[in-house]
Structure 1
């Protein structure tokens, strides 16, 4: 019946946990599509902007898990794990990130009073 109606059941897998086979996300090829982008839009509209890549287990994947993009077409009973982009903080990268409130330029620093002798 699922094949005749063109419905696709997709299961979600949170990172570091087992897949949730109790409540699938049901997509339709006729109504909306069955790609990874349609899957993300079904969960939440703003999720597509934050997706870095998707891990897929199932018949649509060549190997387990397969890294996929938003255009990958999902098959019935696939398991999907969404990996989101890391949020970037302002003010540099990695070990060069500044955590102090000191001015950036040396000429803007306040001069300290000389030591009393």
Structure 2
């Protein structure tokens, strides 16, 4: 029945946890599509803007896990983990995180 109606069950996996096989997201190839972008839009409209990459386990993946983009076509019973972009505000420079508002370089400081 799933194949005849072209329905695709996609399971979610939170980071650091086991996949949730109890409540799949059902997508349709005929209505809406079965790409990662369609999956993100099904979850929440603003999620597409926050996606850094997606990890996929299942039939559509060449290896486990596979890093995918928004155009990846999902197959029935795939497991998807979404990795979001980090918020860059207030992080500082690279690995040297600055918690002050002072300039990062000595040459940028004002003379007193």
2:81 paired with 1:77: no
- Mark the structure with the bigger radius of gyration: 1
| CA displacement at 1:106 relative to structure 2 | 1.5
Q: Aligned equivalents of 1:13 and 1:65: distance in 2?
A: 12
**Structure 1, unpaired ranges of 5+:** 110-117
Structure 1 residue matching 2:40: 3-state secondary structure = helix
- Report what 1:9 is aligned to: 9
TM-score, L = length of structure 2:
0.87
Q: In structure 1, the residue corresponding to 2:11 is in which secondary structure? A: strand
Tell me the distance in 2 between the aligned counterparts of 1:15 and 1:82: 8
Name the count of aligned residue pairs: 108
With normalisation by structure 1, the TM-score equals: 0.84
Q: Is 1:21 aligned to 2:25, yes or no?
A: no
Q: Which runs of 5+ in 2 are unaligned?
A: none
Corresponding residue of 1:105: 109
Is 1:51 the counterpart of 2:51 in the alignment?
Answer: yes
Q: What is the root-mean-square deviation in Å for CA atoms of aligned residues?
A: 1.7
- Contact 2:92-2:99 at 8 Å conserved across structures: no
Alpha-carbon separation, structure 1, partners of 2:34 and 2:63: 20
- How far apart are 1:105 and its partner, in Å? 3.1
